[in-house]
Amino acid sequence: MKTRGFVVTMFAVALSFSAQFVDSSSAASGYSAQLITPTAGQVLYTGQQVKVEWESIIPKTQAGGCEMEVWLSLDGGRSFTLCLTPHVDPAARYFYWTVPNTPTNAAVLDIRFGCEWYYPESYAPQPASTFAIANSTVPSY
């Protein structure tokens, strides 16, 4: 029984240290991104067209095949299941998005960058900019 407890403890310790090695959105990797819009707490409405805008630092590469993608999480960033963009030029800093009928109070975007065969896909989830998607029409003012 002591061996089992030891193995469980070692597994828990290993998991607690693994996050620091997996985070590829840090400046150390040469890539980082910061979402400008939508902003934290903003409510978007199904069918609304919004400007998704970000600032990013990308590594200087001579390789071709570099791209960015923006993914959507509906569960606060636990999983990113919806790709909002096809391959976007790394120089792009925004795109216009029609909000889908996917109501949630915990929408999070992930701005990804990578170069095939040269620079691994790096993730930059934006949990500090969690926004909502409401299942109704855009309010009229």
Summarize pLDDT for 77-128 with one digit per residue, the tens: 999 999 999 888 888 999 999 999 999 999 999 999 988 777 888 999 999 9
Summarize pLDDT for 20-63 with one digit per residue, the tens: 333 334 444 588 999 999 999 999 999 999 999 999 988 877 66
Please, what are the domains in the chain? 26-134 (2.60.40.730)
Residue 79 CB neighbours (<10 A) = 11
Beta bridge partner(s), residue 107: 131
| Cα distance from N-terminal residue to C-terminal residue, the chain | 67
Q: Is 6 exposed, middle or buried (0-12, 13-18, 19+ CB in 10 A)?
A: exposed
Q: What is the dihedral of CA 33, 39, 44, 50, to 10 degrees?
A: -60
Q: What does the alpha-carbon distance between residue 52 and residue 108 come to, in Å, rounded to a whole number?
A: 12
Residues 138/83, Cβ–Cβ less than 8 Å? no
pTM for the complete prediction? 0.74
